[in-house]
Amino acid sequence: MLQAPARSTEGSRTPAVSDTMAQPKGTVVLAYSGGLDTSCILVWLKEQGYDVIAYLANIGQKEDFEAARKKALALGAKKVYIEDVSREFVESFIWPAVQANALYEDRYLLGTALARPCIARGLVGIAQQERAAYIAHGATGKGNDQVRFELSCYALCPKIKVVAPWRLPEFYQRFPGRRELMDYAKKHGIPVPVTPQTPWSMDENLMHISYEAGILENPKNQAPPGLYTKTCDPAKSPDTPDVLEIEFERGVPVKVTNTGDGATRSSALELFVYLNDIAGKHGVGRIDIVENRFVGMKSRGFWHSPECEFLRECIGRSQESVVGTVRLSVFKGHVYILGRESPRSLYNEELVSMNVQGDYEPADATGFININSLRLKEYHRLQSKVTVKQDE
């Protein structure tokens, strides 16, 4: 996995273009990915009179960070910050989601939704450090990321101003399609892909890799096999399972042990990456889902809001007694629970055993059943009255 120095920066260089710039507007910190869209936005922001600082967060994506740095500087970025927030992403965002069993539609792990407030926190940090009045991003005007980025930024720094080019008529009318963006890139010396653009958009981080748009916008289209870069085909996965023991404290994993080879991991980042590697080897984690959008067409952009902080505090309290070990098997696209134990479990084997009466008096169940059946009997009585009245 590629790593980048935390908060590394490099000075300005002469941009590859020499257009007539507008009146100076101040400094903007751009959430930069190194791709075509944000590279064009970087140059466009300079055209508008901004001094651009590029910010690239390393949250576990496969990225040539040094190449992205050089590209941004060549296009005229005043500075480039590359920040490794992988550990922070796991400890401060993924683990709280694990504590809460946070799943969208009971199966999607919210990989993108959790990453955006993490990135936004880094953006705001750089903006405050550089005394920049503006933050910019390349999220579209239809999607969820614009909400996630901006609500997080405003919550962390209410005075910050956000520049969202894809919502500005002077930008999206100038670039109504990808062809116009490509023409702009060629005109201004912005490197463009030499291979045909993949017919979908992708988001990758430590937690997941997700795809949308293009051919995937039609739900009848099957996802091409080449999309699954983090998981192997379950049909081609190993014929021997990996058996793991995961120890929990306060509702989050603190240690994993592979009972086969004895390998262990205990730091949050290493543990998370190891579990991903094992799961991917066995084809675990593939889903195909149709999701909703927050702008009337899904988003959890309120991570840094008071209500979300309150919720996380409550969930944290609820997990204080969640401690113990789970033994599981990872095999052929599935995770099978083999056993679990906890020193603070409410489970009492003697109490539930069919062979030992313990402190339980079976005769007491009669009253319990009678009380719970009262509403059913009363409902039946009322229904009988209604039926008789209708027959009259």
> Which residues are known to be catalytic?
37, 116, 145, 201
Q: Tell me whether residue 116 is exposed, middle or buried, using C-beta atoms within 10 angstroms of its C-beta: 0 to 12, 13 to 18, 19 or more.
A: buried
Give the integer Cα–Cα distance in Å for 186 and 193.
11
The one-letter amino acid code at 308 reads: C
Q: How far apart are CA 229 and CA 202, in angstroms?
A: 11
Sign of the dihedral through C-alpha 142, 119, 33, 111: negative
- Alpha carbon 272 to its chain's center: 14
Residue 120: C-alpha distances to residues 138, 141, 187, 222, 391 (Å): 13, 17, 31, 33, 67
DSSP label at residue 240: S
SS3 state at 39: helix
CA dist 384 → 89, 388, 389 (Å): 60, 6, 9
Tell me how far CA of residue 304 lies from CA of 114, 121, 149, 309, 311, in angstroms.
11, 9, 11, 7, 11
Q: Which of 245, 275, 248, 271 is nearest to 259 (CA)?
A: 245
Which residues make Cβ contacts (< 8 Å) with residue 38, sequence separation at least 6? 30, 31, 32, 138
The CB density around residue 128, as the number of other CB atoms within 10 Å, is 13
Residue appearing with tokens 């083999």: 338
SS3 assignment, position 385: helix
